[in-house]
Chains A and B, each alone.
Chain A
């Protein structure tokens, strides 16, 4: 098997994933038909990435073959799909700001960071790689917890977003939590997810992955860890830049201050 053959043949869309994508797009069209704008592109992109993460070779390899493919899928489902979905929703009218909800934002933060960590506990990681029911739970939980994490930053309603400087701290700390996990996975002397050590080679792709791509188990885990360590941080950094960019552009329109005036 060559790389091209693998990339062309390893598509397993099944029924549920395409159906979910079609329903999501249809629902978007019906719900917002009068307000469709350029933002819809974000939504379409989110749905396409969701489809790619699950049905394409990324999703197929993530099921037991490559830890790094799993990590790519994980990052797409948490750090790409949810923020793009939120960006794709039409902006809604501002309501008066609700009372500060610190517990709510702490819970959102924990959802986002917790989902990263929990699914890399050894037992859960193995279960998800081997059992398709657990994998479905994983997929849904990643998207849902991802939405919970990104809502305080990118909610279509301005008043339900947290203040920009709090948002920076929120993203900064999430990035550090993510970096620490990436470092552990990269440098760990033992395998994080032993299910990927001996995949059941139903596709016949293993020789290609191990020899052709040079993906030994150790290299595979290292690559997975590095994905979480380095590119994941770029997503958070980009979100910080966007948040601060909006904040500075608003100078003189409204004042969000931490503490400040005595």
Chain B
């Protein structure tokens, strides 16, 4: 208690003397400083600006689509160009706009909101960012390499297979999404490690700002869901590049498998794009209602329920794919159930506003509009949970209307609210409210004009993904309304961009805390200086700055109890261990999918293992398992302080790992000599993919062990890098455990 009230704690207003360095930082226009930065704030801003750039590209693509559809029987675009444009529009908006924008906000805000100096791994953070423009570049490079991808953002097989998509567009699509996926997983691991290990004293998990909590849950969804997509993508790539047939019926493959894998990722992806938006709304509405959030516990806990249920409902995207009535029924019920935790959140936000002193800033206007638009999108979503309605309107403009209400009316409105809310923190200047209101009303009018009428078009039967439509009664007029709406939205975006530019240069000075908000990011200067805080205010509740301003009413009894009760031993978790654990979880998710694909294709054919030399591989397996033991012994000797023994054990481990890889290379070459290649049968495709990726991970582990060996020989492992030894060790054991599973399933006959 005394510690909390000690004079060493600075009040948020005392930041005058810190404005000098922040000014300096704002003036640092040296481009190289931005390229080389590892500051989470600059990286966050770069994410947002790059996403804004891609938003412009995706928006122009949307306008082209709407121009083509403005009139019936239009031939402005050829069918093939139209396919390319809607594929690029979807892919760009999801992977290059919405996700990076949310990651950008997480990057900028999470360390500030938890009172940390930076992310847990600043350099990993920079890598994750740079993978994003690189992925975007790869995707767009396809335009120079024979044409953009044209199989839709979900690349349904077999349309995405070589016979039907023969240009390199789909290959670039696969590579770009892989690169972006790896970047997202890296970013998510960083967020998890940051939230778990770098919170300010007193900021327990249950006092976290809801934006941080929801971003944290989203990060967990990312490390589970993105690797599923990555696994499906590598299978598609093996199909396209090595002539395998995972997803082609003629070789025994299954196009349904692609749909399952894609939506195993795709449905959680919907929540990956929605939960951070919920978090933004949960920060903004309370501040502009002057009330704490209603039902913090429910909002936070239901987020976890949504996350877990999102893995149990994906098949509702496949009602029309012919799964059978039982599956349809199960997923209809579960999909309706997941609407409950989401729906109740709406009431939490309304109850927060109820009786509050509302301040209708542009940010708050967008937040309120979010509630309305998101409810429309949510309700049309529930109609899809009823399988018969889904059969009627799936793949029509009703669906297009639905997901735009969720993604634009929901997520994008929340992002606009967040930009108006946090821009002052990032720039030190307020966004102009008059321009803001113009932006808001143009967006609302344009958005609803564009997409509301599409509900009717869909019910009338207008199919999506078709480049034009016949001149049926009403269709032309409704489509024209939609196109006009789209251009109003384009105008609103220009207004928004103008507001950003003008306010960045000439906006009114914001001060530290322009909205009189309560979370820690407002306790420092705007923009914050490179190390964020001089001193982090004490945290004794969910609204630290409010507690600071009202010392008398902050329930001292309760706070005392909370501080006096810290008898439970806290185990300070090490950030490397947290990060490598999160990484292992994501890798496990990747391998689970490859293993399931192997089992799925080989369970009914008993020939699989006949071609394999079980005894030889068994011997190599023993080597790999022994290497886990030797590494463990090495760690123990390091613990005892014996560097020499550690070096010796490390060399033994490296050798055993190399022997295993050599064995695998030998096995591959003899198989290839006997004419067994990735394209010869489904067994061979699944075998090479699964064992090949395992081998790749062994190689990666060997590189990490090699680096440790280099460190050990260069000057010994010091206390700091001992944690790295532990982290690499965990990873190495994981790779071995995966091999035990792979070996049992692939080589031990009769286990399937």
Once the chains bind, are B206 and A248 in contact (CB under 8 Å)?
A: yes
Residues of B close to A175: CB separation below 8 A: 308, 311
Tell me if B680 is interfacial: C-beta within 8 Å of chain A. Answer: no
Interface string of B172-203 (1 = CB under 8 A from A): 00000000000000000000000011111111
A35 CB within 8 Å of chain B: no
Asked, given contacts A184-B599, A247-B206, A251-B207, whether A262 binds B201 with beta carbons under 8 Å apart, the answer is yes
> Is B309 on the interface with A (CB-CB < 8 A)?
yes
A226 CA to B573 CA in the complex, in Å? 38
Given A230-B331, A252-B562, A254-B568; A259-B197 close (CB under 8 Å): yes
Q: Of B301, B330, B570, which contacts A261 at CB under 8 A?
A: B570
The chain B residue sitting closest to A220, CB to CB, is B326
Interface contact B330-A229, CB-CB below 8 Å: yes
Q: For residues 183 through 198 of chain A, which have their beta carbon under 8 Å from a beta carbon of chain B?
A: 183-184, 186-190
A261 x B324 contact (CB < 8 A): no
Q: B residues within 8 A CB of A247?
A: 206, 297, 301
A258 interface neighbour in B205, B558, B603, Cβ under 8 Å: B205
Whether the pair A179, B312 counts as a contact (CB closer than 8 A) is yes
Q: Is the CB of B559 within 8 A of A229?
A: no
For B566, list chain A residues within 8 Å (CB).
255
Q: How far is the CA of A230 from the CA of B311 in the complex (A)?
A: 9
When each residue 419-457 of chain B gets 1 if its CB lies under 8 Å from chain A and 0 otherwise, what string results? 000000000000000000000000000000000000000
Contacts of B300 in A (CB 8 A): 244, 248
Q: In chain B, residues 537-567, which have Cβ atoms closer than 8 Å to a Cβ of chain A?
A: 541-542, 555, 558-559, 561-562, 565-567
Q: Which of A221-252 contact B (CB under 8 A)?
A: 222-223, 226, 229-231, 233-234, 236-237, 240-241, 244-245, 247-252
Chain B residues in 8 Å Cβ range of A245:
297-298, 301
- Inter-chain contact A257/B308, CB cutoff 8 Å: no
Give the nearest-CB partner of B589 in chain A.
Answer: A176
| Residue total for A at the interface (Cβ-Cβ under 8 A) | 48
Pick from B197, B206, B312, B559: contact of A230, CB below 8 A: B312
Contact (Cβ within 8 A) B308 A183: no
A253 touches B561 (CB 8 A): yes
Question: Which of B197, B570, B604 neighbours the largest number of chain A CB atoms within 10 Å of its CB?
Answer: B570
If A183-B596, A226-B326, A252-B558 touch, whether A257 touches B311 (CB-CB below 8 Å) is no
A11 proximal to B (CB < 8 A): no
- Of the candidates B260, B296, B562, the one whose C-beta lies within 8 Å of that of A187 is B260
Q: Is B707 an interface residue (CB 8 A)?
A: no
Between B201, B297, B300, the greatest number of chain A beta carbons within 10 A of the residue's beta carbon is seen for B297
Closest B-chain residue to A215, C-beta based?
A: B326
Q: Closest B-chain residue to A236, C-beta based?
A: B308
- Proximity string of chain B (314-345) to chain A, C-beta cutoff 8 Å, 1 when within and 0 when not: 00000000001011001101100100000000
**A253 near B592: Cβ-Cβ < 8 Å:** no
Report yes or no: B326 in contact with A219, Cβ–Cβ below 8 A. yes
Answer whether residue B204 sits at the interface, using C-beta atoms and an 8 A cutoff: yes
Contacts of B224 in A (CB 8 A): 176
Q: How far is the CA of A240 from the CA of B331 in the complex (A)?
A: 21
Which residues of B are found within 8 Å of A168, using beta-carbon distances? 304
Q: Please tell me if B720 contacts chain A, counting CB pairs below 8 Å.
A: no
Whether A222 lies near B324 (C-beta < 8 A) is yes
Task: State the CA gap A241–B305 with chains docked (Å).
Answer: 7
Over the window 277-318 of chain B, the binary record of Cβ atoms lying under 8 Å from chain A Cβ atoms (1 yes, 0 no) is 000000000000000000011101110110011011000000
Check if A21 is an interface residue, CB within 8 A of chain B: no
A179 to B333, alpha carbons, bound, how many Å? 16
A100 within 8 Å of B (CB atoms): yes
A100 to B558, CA, bound (A): 27
Give residues 465-504 of B contacting A (CB, 8 Å).
none
Which residues of chain B from 192 to 236 have any CB-CB distance to chain A below 8 Å in the complex? Answer: 196-207, 224
CA distance A241 to B555 in the complex (A): 28
For residue A180, CB closer than 8 A to chain B, the reply is: yes
Shortest beta-carbon distance, A180 to chain B, in Å?
A: 7
Determine the chain B residues whose CB is within 8 A of the CB of A262 once the complex forms: 198, 201, 572
A237 to B311, CA, bound (A): 11
A226 to B596, CA, bound (A): 17
B573 and A259 contact, CB distance less than 8 A? yes
CA distance A252 to B309 in the complex (A): 29
Q: How far is the CA of A251 from the CA of B543 in the complex (A)?
A: 13
* Cross-interface CB contact of B308 among A163, A226, A229, A233, cutoff 8 Å: A233
Residue A165 interfacial (CB < 8 Å): yes
Determine whether the beta carbon of A259 is less than 8 Å from that of B312.
Answer: no
Residues of A within 8 A of B599 (CB): 184
- A-side contacts of B610, CB under 8 Å: none
Q: Which of A180, A222, A240, A251 contacts B326 (CB 8 A)?
A: A222
Q: Using CB atoms and an 8 Å cutoff, list the residues of chain A in contact with chain B.
A: 97, 100, 163, 165, 168, 172, 175-176, 179-180, 183-184, 186-190, 219, 222-223, 226, 229-231, 233-234, 236-237, 240-241, 244-245, 247-262
7 contacts between A and B (CB under 8 A): A229-B312, A233-B311, A251-B206, A252-B558, A252-B559, A254-B568, A259-B573
B residues contacting A by CB (< 8 A) are 196-207, 224, 260, 296-298, 300-302, 304-305, 308-309, 311-312, 324, 326-327, 330-331, 333-334, 337, 541-542, 555, 558-559, 561-562, 565-573, 578, 592, 596, 599-600, 603-604
Question: Closest 5 CB pairs between A and B?
Answer: A248-B297, A244-B301, A259-B573, A226-B330, A261-B201
Additional pairs, 8, CB under 8 Å, beyond known A97-B568, A258-B196, A261-B199:
A172-B304, A219-B324, A236-B308, A237-B309, A240-B305, A244-B297, A251-B206, A252-B559
